[in-house]
Structure 1
């Protein structure tokens, strides 16, 4: 699914340029030209990131940023300030108020897109580190690197844990051995499908009675059972 970017920018030429390059990179982009409309659209759209000019009609950019960070529904949305105000004090103020990046006009559009991508990657990493999933008797905490089965913690190795995460994230779908091998060990790993089978067997042993939730799909691979479907 394409990432949604909200641009709050009152210069139509700059807005058009940014919109063009973002669209070329596969982003969806919404644009408004004043702070009041931008704040309203941010709350309604809940974009993946916001590009925010500082010198705006209506509510100024710093106020928009402050109100975004105070709103629980959108406070985690990355904000990239895009402005002609390039003094060091301006940068410090913007970043201290919670902006995730600060781009000074004039800028190269490709650099702007690259920095938006970097902000989104950092956000995704933060989300993964705080992610917690529970399906049936199995709970995993990504940030703590912990797994519990029937409420009992299990000492999984890094690869066993990564296999469990990969399967639970797409519960109900079958992942073939090659996909699991590439996901957990990397594309350049020279191991075989046997590597996946061995680690799945070790994982199941540690899962105890919860092992039935990791299902074998003959001649294909494995899947984590969806809650409420099938069962031991």
Structure 2
């Protein structure tokens, strides 16, 4: 019987308690986990370990996480590796800087462990894409620009509210893939924000009304799929 290959996760954080907590919970989910407390050693460790995903703290002595991310992205082997920033700082400017240097997502430690675990599972186990460093997407008649929250569909320019834009952007990163309502709830709003399931239907109905009637379809099992031409 062939053994399923586990995904590899590297955690870089100078806080031992955070490292121990994340390592325990991620290993329990079947991931192979490596931890490193010294940011100055992170490139060497990453080269040897070759992780599928890196969880990176920002505020660390010696070298900060943003600089580590820059250096990782300059190495071809890590150009497509997921990098999630995990930080205690709630700062929009810092978030923009972190994502602008190559981070795929920015998760505040205050939002808790569940939000991180959901996102890790989404990209590694469910093979869905969630990357905020992808700034533009073009799919047939549909184009999206993250920096402007702007959508173009069949030569019409449409500005959507933030939640609707994030929903459509998530679908656009995963065209023609069937996506569950739980995946939408956990990856768009997070596990600590309570959103009624009917609200998801309402958001999607609003998107379809503004952009295209049959852009997103709903299956009999309550799942969704973006249909592009």
Give the alignment's TM-score, normalised by structure 2: 0.52
Q: Does 1:67 align with 2:71?
A: yes
Instruction: Please report the RMSD computed on the Cα atoms of aligned residues, expressed in angstroms.
Output: 2.6
Contact 1:101 1:119 in 2 (8 A): no
- From 18, 22, 33, give the equivalent of 2:37: 33
SS in 1 for 2:23: helix
Give the Cα–Cα distance (whole angstroms) in 2 for the partners of residues 89 and 122 of structure 1. Answer: 31
Give the Cα–Cα distance (whole angstroms) in 2 for the partners of residues 119 and 92 of structure 1. Answer: 21
Q: Does 1:22 align with 2:50?
A: no
**Structure 1 counterpart of 2:101:** 97
Deviations 1:194-228 (A, max 9, x none): xxxxxxxxxxxxxxxxxxxxxxxxxxxxxxxxxxx
Contact 1:9 1:56 in 2 (8 A): yes
Gaps of 5+ in 2: 131-220, 222-229
- From 50, 56, 61, give the equivalent of 1:57: 61
**Structure 2 counterpart of 1:109:** 113
SS in 1 for 2:81: coil
Give the Cα–Cα distance (whole angstroms) in 2 for the partners of residues 95 and 125 of structure 1. Answer: 15
- From 37, 48, 51, give the equivalent of 1:47: 51
Q: Does 1:78 align with 2:87?
A: no
Q: Mark the CA change 1:123 to 1:97 in structure 2 (over 3 Å): closer, same or farther.
A: farther
Gaps of 5+ in 1: 127-187, 189-232
Give the Cα–Cα distance (whole angstroms) in 1 for the partners of residues 18 and 101 of structure 2. Answer: 24
Instruction: Give the deviation of 1:125 after TM superposition.
Output: 5.9
Deviations 1:174-200 (A, max 9, x none): xxxxxxxxxxxxxx9xxxxxxxxxxxx
Instruction: Give the deviation of 1:90 after TM superposition.
Output: 1.0
Q: Mark the CA change 1:119 to 1:102 in structure 2 (over 3 Å): closer, same or farther.
A: farther
Runs of 4+ in 1 over 4 A off after TM superposition: 121-126
Deviations 1:143-195 (A, max 9, x none): xxxxxxxxxxxxxxxxxxxxxxxxxxxxxxxxxxxxxxxxxxxxx9xxxxxxx
Give the Cα–Cα distance (whole angstroms) in 2 for the partners of residues 54 and 73 of structure 1. Answer: 22
Q: Does 1:88 align with 2:78?
A: no
Give the Cα–Cα distance (whole angstroms) in 2 for the partners of residues 105 and 63 of structure 1. Answer: 20
Instruction: Give the deviation of 1:10 after TM superposition.
Output: 0.7
Q: Mark the CA change 1:62 to 1:27 in structure 2 (over 3 Å): closer, same or farther.
A: same
SS in 2 for 1:76: coil
Instruction: Give the deviation of 1:43 after TM superposition.
Output: 1.5
Deviates further, 112-121 or 85-94: 112-121
Contact 2:88 2:108 in 1 (8 A): yes
Instruction: Give the deviation of 1:107 after TM superposition.
Output: 3.3
